[in-house]
Amino acid sequence: MNPRSSFDKALIEIQEDIFQLANLVEQAIYNAVQSLIKLDPAGAAQVIMCDEEIDELYAKIESKCIKLIATQQPMARDLRMVVTGIKILLSLERIGDHAVDIAQATMCIRESELNRKSSEYLTKMSRLVQQMIKDGFEAYRERDVQKAQEMCTLDDEVDHIFTKIFQLLIDNILADPKSIVQSSYLLYVSRYLERIADHATDIGEAIIYLITGERKKLN
């Protein structure tokens, strides 16, 4: 196999591994938020356990990227493709960590049910960040700048809901001081989801850089 074919094959493998990692992370977010909405500590514990699989795949892909740079010494656009892969990888790993954060918060809530409005807001935020990840990786696969830009606009919707749930939970605490523990953990969770949206936006920016060579801030 000539060096070019070898490089292309390794790059395709890395990209497919990144898609696999994105699927695992997206599922972790869904499972973490569902365990919270249902106040299901067993489901939350499963999210925490599954993070090991995410970490192992992250380490495997990172190792492949480093090996590719060391052995092939890519230049120009080839190097940009590998560097972008590493940037996306880092963002996915951080998103996975926030899914664990949500699961850990769930395990600390002792009430029998969540505030209904809080559940609605958190479910909306979860759906939006999952959509951002899904759209982002469609843009990555298709090398679609417009789709990457459109995906990043969902971050504004997430920020808007975060502002609303923040105010709701503060009002709950003021109206009923006994709700402070649950409300505090839900504030943490909403913040984690807001940070996930920021990391998804970072992925969108990395994809645009990959395609155009331009560094564009969308956050």
Give SS3 for 107.
Answer: coil
Domains of the chain: 3-212 (1.20.58.220)
The predicted model scores a pTM of 0.93
DSSP one-letter code for 99: H
Distance CA 201, CA 206 (A): 9
Distance CA 6, CA 61 (A): 17
Band of the pLDDT at 148, cuts 50, 70, 90? very high
Query: What pLDDT was estimated at residue 28?
Result: 97
Band of the pLDDT at 2, cuts 50, 70, 90? low
Helix axes 76-106, 3-37, angle to 10 degrees: 20
CA torsion sign for 169, 172, 173, 179 is negative
Query: What pLDDT was estimated at residue 200?
Result: 97
Locate all alpha helices (DSSP H) within 3-144, ordered by sequence.
3-37, 41-72, 76-106, 116-142
Distance CA 58, CA 190 (A): 25
Tens of pLDDT, residue by residue over 64-77, are 999 998 888 777 88
In the predicted model, what is the mean pLDDT of the chain?
92
Which tokens sit at 17? Answer: 């591994």
